[in-house]
Chains A and B, each alone.
Chain A
Amino acid sequence: MTTTAEPMPGVLIVEDEAITALDLATELAGMGYHVCGVVDTPEAAVGAAMRERPAVVLMDIRLANGGDGIETAQRICGHHDTAIVFLTAHSDEATLARALAVSPFGYLIKPFRARDLKVAIDLAVTKHSHDAAAVQSLRALAATDGLTLE
């Protein structure tokens, strides 16, 4: 790691179980990620995502106050380009299908393992930055040739 390294990508934790959230924050910080917020309701999640612009949102599916993580992820993606990784105790087909509709970058089943968490977040960060770079170059191309569709 050089001293001029870019700041570590930010991760927003959306989890309504306090101890699980604390564990996630500790693990992620230990892996060198910048935890830019820990929230437990849809409203707080959308607010924090707009304010902090995290690279990854780690999203529980069932949130406090009866909130739904999949809907919340949809709302966040509408405002801000970020990678969603779901973390949930749900593993039934119906929930999985609903979650897949949001094109998440990962889907972790509770209880999670530190190793799987790291792989999922690393992958999400990498894939997301590649996608962002691809969009950037497409935009550049569209600006020059006037033909390429964004």
Chain B
Amino acid sequence: VLLPGGGALPAELVAWQVATARGSATCAFLRDIGDRKQLEEQQRLRFQSETLLKEVHHRIKNNMQVISSLLSIESSKLDDERQRSVFLECRERIRAMSLIHDRLYSTGSYEQIDFADYLREMLALIVSSNRPAATEVTVDLAADHVRVPVERAVPLSLIASELVLNSLKHGFLDRDRGRILVRLERTGHECELFVADDGPGPAPGDADGRGTGLQLIDSLTRQIRGVSSFATRDGLPGVSIRWSER
């Protein structure tokens, strides 16, 4: 419908013929459907951007697979077990990051993730494939619901996986069984991640490996404006990471 002052209005016209005693008449409704059109357009755009986001996350995961494969191919040329394990560790870190995109992609919430869910899944994946073959590792996880915005989710995931990998690498040497304690707590806007194991701690010769891990953790903690410290929970010495949700 064209408006007198120029411009147009989307409209819907419904008309029909009615037979009356004095011949037939035409009955018509003209309805302004501007609001409906606008709503349809909004829905279309939302669907479009969701499809696009899904596509992006899918490609990110595919690219992470390619990076991981490149590391794998390169590492197969190495004879030294220690050098190979460096590549393997890098691949585990890529996996930890990739799992964030997995959560974002499969839950359809693209702005934040539930870090408790993430931890549960990450622990299941990382512990089963990185524990020493002869050690039965129990994971003791208690986690509050902590929503983490996407820009913090990746550094936090790397911190968490680094701490857990450290425990698996150093905590359970020559033991039949061991325990990893993971706590995620929120008090108001303050959040804390705590990771410990019941192992004897690093042997003197392990200082190198633990050093790099701690360096990564320190840098990543600064990135999320957090504080890392040594702490004790349930009688187990471990590492605590605190940050604010704000």
Interface residues of A, Cβ cutoff 8 Å to B: 17, 19-20, 22-24, 26-27, 30, 62, 89-93, 109-116
Contact = CB atoms under 8 A, between A and B. Distances in A.
Interface of B: 54, 58, 61-62, 64-70, 72-73, 76, 91, 94-95, 98, 102, 105-106, 108, 129
A25 to B, nearest CB: 10
A110 B65 contact: yes
B65 A89 contact: yes
B129 A17 contact: no
Contacts of B102: 91, 109
Nearest to A95: B106
Contact of A92 (B76, B105, B129): B105
A137 B40 CA distance: 59
B107 to A, nearest CB: 9
B110 to A, nearest CB: 13
Q: Among the interface residues A19, A30, A110, which one has the most CB atoms of the partner chain B within 10 A?
A: A110
Contact of A26 (B73, B91, B95): B73
A111 B94 CA distance: 8
Nearest to B126: A113
A111 B98 CA distance: 7
Contacts of B95: 111, 113
A110 B64 contact: yes
Contacts of B54: 92
B72 A17 contact: no
Contacts of A90: 58
Contact of A19 (B69, B106, B129): B69
Given A19-B73, A93-B106, 18 more contacts: A17-B65, A19-B69, A20-B69, A22-B69, A23-B72, A27-B72, A30-B76, A62-B58, A89-B62, A90-B58, A91-B105, A92-B105, A110-B62, A110-B65, A111-B61, A111-B91, A111-B95, A113-B95
A114 B65 contact: no
Contacts of B129: 113, 115-116
A111 B70 contact: no
A114 B72 contact: yes
A109 B61 CA distance: 9
A19 B66 CA distance: 6
A11 to B, nearest CB: 16
Contacts of A110: 61-62, 64-65, 98
Contacts of A113: 91, 95, 129
28 contacts: A17-B62, A17-B69, A19-B70, A20-B65, A20-B66, A20-B69, A22-B69, A22-B73, A23-B68, A23-B72, A23-B73, A27-B72, A89-B58, A89-B62, A91-B105, A91-B106, A92-B54, A92-B105, A109-B102, A110-B64, A110-B65, A110-B98, A111-B61, A111-B64, A111-B65, A111-B91, A111-B95, A112-B65
